[in-house]
Amino acid sequence: KSKNCHRIDELDFKYRAYTVTYLMVFPMGFLCNSAALVVFLFITPKKLASRVFMINLAFSDVGFSLTLPFRLIYYFRNFQWDFPDWLCRLCVFSFYLNLYTSVLFLTSLSVLRYIAVLHPFQSKIDFRRAVWISVGIWVFVALLSSPFFMNGVFKDSNNVSHCFEPRDNTSWERMKNLNYVGVILGCVIPFLIIVVCYSCILYRLLCVKEDVKKTKRPKRRTVYLVALILFTFLVCFMPYHVVRSVHLAAEVSSWDPHFTASMKKVLVVTLCLAASNSCLNPLMYYFAGESFRTAIRRASSKRLTSSFKQSINLRNHHPLPATLKESLKH
């Protein structure tokens, strides 16, 4: 009975956490990153290495956002999967594909910014190299995440189809082994690279004296960008990997049931934070790209101009009554 109560409490917590998170992340992540793709591809289509990485990052976020409605339907249907097995596998795979491509593209942007600030006269990463690096990232992460295609639909004792959960002890053991690879290659090494790059960048910007008027605004934007990427890593990526490692160890090694149950809830929270990284990336595009900021400002000014013209036209078509005009004169 106690075990059933814990199970019901766990499912209720998952339902509330995932539905609230995905209902916010889906529209924000999809619309903001789709708008970013429109800006990058059609409004300011310059062949820059940074643009290549940001396009791939936005594309990854849009792709992941498109799987969220299926997850929402699953939770709204009381944890019952009514779609094909291949779609379940694709949704599981897409989460890890988005997670680790996001990490590696953010790392690539950090290295690119490091080269631009500290070694401006040396050979830079050009457009063609950035394309090949991006292809390599997609292939590498797809291969790394491919074992998650093995986690498909399974049926419980009541013949109800479920998704997004390991079905047996073998699945838990496989996930534990995959976790070590993901933590090292997809979290620890990229985080160390980002910390080293931005430590050097901040030291250069804050300690080297240059023309204050020319460098004040770019310096401030770079500091904001550094803070945003580190915030994304420390809030969205790092907690999930730490908690996932502890939770998998608890499941496989049969630790204390109460501790394991608590870790399941913490894991749900950190997974929600990891999924929300797609909402933070558009802010990074704003601070990282001058042309992106210019396009946003132009779009905003056009909107303000059109709304102002509409108000003038309405006023011309609907003049004030004579009595009101007289009263305004006085």
Q: Which of 121, 1, 116, 123 is nearest to 53 (CA)?
A: 116
Whether residue 307 is contained in a domain is answered as no
What integer pLDDT is reported at residue 304 of this predicted model? 47
Q: Using CA atoms, how far apart are residues 49 and 39, in angstroms rounded to an integer?
A: 16
pLDDT the model gives residue 157? 79
The pLDDT assigned to 23 comes to 96
pLDDT recorded at residue 323? 47
DSSP labels, 274-285? HHTHHHHHHHHH
Residue 76 lies in a domain: yes
pLDDT of residue 178: 86
Residue 129: inside a domain: yes
Let me know if residue 313 belongs to a domain: no
CB atoms within 10 A of CB 268: 20
- Is 319 part of any domain? no
Total domains, the chain = 1
Give the single-character DSSP code of 148.
G
Beta bridge partners of residue 155, listed in sequence order: 161
Q: 130 with 116: CB under 8 angstroms? A: no
Residue 226 falls within a domain, yes or no? yes
Per-residue pLDDT of the chain (330 residues; tens, 9 = 90+): 455 666 677 888 999 999 999 999 999 999 999 988 988 888 776 788 888 999 999 999 999 999 999 999 999 999 999 999 999 999 999 999 999 999 999 999 989 888 888 887 666 778 889 999 999 999 999 999 998 888 788 888 788 899 988 766 677 777 888 898 999 999 999 999 999 998 888 888 777 665 444 555 566 777 777 888 888 899 999 999 999 999 988 888 878 888 888 899 999 999 999 999 999 888 888 776 666 666 666 665 555 445 445 555 555 555 555 543 444 344
Tell me how far apart the alpha carbons of residues 233 and 227 are, in angstroms, rounded to a whole number.
10
Domain presence at residue 302? no
What SS3 state is found at 75? Answer: helix
Model pTM score: 0.83
How confident is the model at residue 130, as a pLDDT?
A: 92
Q: What is the pLDDT of residue 25?
A: 95
Domain boundaries, position 40: 2-297
Give the pLDDT confidence score for residue 298 in this predicted structure: 65
CATH number of the structural domain spanning residue 156: 1.20.1070.10
Is 325 part of a structural domain of the chain? no
